[in-house]
Structure 1
């Protein structure tokens, strides 16, 4: 119960923070440490290791407040889905900027290889749908795959669709 209350408070704090100034832009670099700390705490409480790797060049992206809120929720939803529907030992989250594309990959190692293996079951929800919808709203796309005991969420965004930098900046 305490964890749920803390998560609700964190979500409310994010909504207030990101919507106080409607036209605000936020550096991705300013957000990464915060997201990493929140995810690490949540995953460690569940006995799951977080592996976090981001290109330094991604830190220079400027996000609209709404996109920053959506991206944070995508990361959190990806971790929540892994905890709810599989038994991961580790979750790796990687961010890369390659030319004009910004990519985020989330991989968990908790998908059973065999049908009879232990798998957490929870009611089927809307998590993957929500991730895909948020990515589309930001001008990107989400792809999901499962192979070799791993489940992968791959997000791709054209840099021009999410970088809030004004032309000529």
Structure 2
């Protein structure tokens, strides 16, 4: 049985392995248990015992193949796709025939208890490939058939028919409930994994839409004004050349402004607060299935961290988040921002440090932790990163404006005492 190629950190591979071995292990145990005494009984003819062994082997093989097909190795790609692979019809038919032979042998030997387990297991496996309520109709019909067959056989043999009818029917229902329940749990896990991946893709698309909206706002405004002034200059070219020339100079200035603003958007120099940068990062991490916790102590106050401090810390946050998404198997992340000792400190820790960490990416100039460390050092700060076991911690610090911090605290204290004065 191969593992499921899923995203790291989901646990879906281990869950599939658990489900597969649980079904196969329990089925194998009860099938062997149900027929063991008859196979080992020397009073039973050798041909009957050999037939029981052959039927047992075929049934177990069919169940193994069918369960492996039912638990897809490739994750669901879209909400409308079927999580199960195509049913192995030949194996299902062979397994059904083997289970019927095994049940018939046990029933003929007056084993009115466990004879129905083999047929019940194969019917349950077949039911997992049937959508909706029809699977339960199949289980109910099989239970009714087992009750009638066991009861009639016992009655004809002159033995009590209540147990012979009730126990096989109950065994069919119980086997179907357990089997369908385990595979239903797998389907739910698969759907949740799909939802997580779709959420991550939507987060990326949302960011692209945000970028497109920013670019549209900048280009639309500038181009509209450029078009109007160009049209005005064309009309004034003959009547007032001097004014037309002035308008064209204005057009040139607007074009330069549009180029500068466009470059700023492309390079990510959009004015956002550090809290927004951290919020964006935590949403992306959450979409990737990573539990991200944020702690601000105290909450960020505008003006305390001078430019380009907020942007540099925002870039550190982006880089650390990107490294987690690309290189780690993290399940938990912690982000902390606090002001202490005249420094604004940002920390980002996760529990998914790779076995062969590659903290520095081969990327364009201006990205990567080493380049960011140089930029923070030039701004009077520091950027460090270290690995401690399976934890990876990125820490950045920049000096703050002490007077701004104190005045902000004074304003906060004044706001707190003002109601009392009133």
- Given that 1:91 and 1:106 are in contact with CA atoms closer than 8 Å, whether structure 2 keeps it comes out as yes
1:77-96 residue pairs with structure 2 within 5 A? Answer: 77-96=319-338
Q: 1:138 aligns with which of 379, 382, 385?
A: 379
TM-score scaled by structure 1? 0.69
TM-score scaled by structure 2? 0.31
Mapped partners of 2:358, 2:278: distance in 1: 24
- Given that 2:304 and 2:400 are in contact with CA atoms closer than 8 Å, whether structure 1 keeps it comes out as no
Mapped partners of 2:395, 2:275: distance in 1: 21
- Given that 2:331 and 2:351 are in contact with CA atoms closer than 8 Å, whether structure 1 keeps it comes out as yes
For the residue of structure 2 that corresponds to 1:62, the secondary structure is coil
Q: In structure 1, what is the equivalent of residue 352 of structure 2?
A: 110
Q: 1:51 aligns with which of 268, 276, 293?
A: 293
Q: In structure 2, what is the equivalent of residue 6 of structure 1?
A: 207
Structure 1 or 2: more strand by fraction? 1
With 128-137 and 78-87 compared, the bigger mean Cα shift is at: 128-137
1:15–1:121: structure 2 CA closer, same or farther, 3 Å change rule? Answer: closer
Q: Deviations over 1:125-149 (max 9, x none)?
A: 4521133123223210111110120
Q: In structure 2, what is the equivalent of residue 35 of structure 1?
A: 277
Matched pairs, number: 151
Mapped partners of 2:376, 2:294: distance in 1: 20
Q: 2:400 aligns with which of 148, 159, 163?
A: 159
CA RMSD of aligned residues (A): 3.7
Q: In structure 2, what is the equivalent of residue 24 of structure 1?
A: none
- Given that 1:84 and 1:122 are in contact with CA atoms closer than 8 Å, whether structure 2 keeps it comes out as no
Q: In structure 1, what is the equivalent of residue 388 of structure 2?
A: 147
Structure 2: runs of 5 or more not aligned = 1-200, 215-263, 409-422
- Given that 1:63 and 1:164 are in contact with CA atoms closer than 8 Å, whether structure 2 keeps it comes out as no
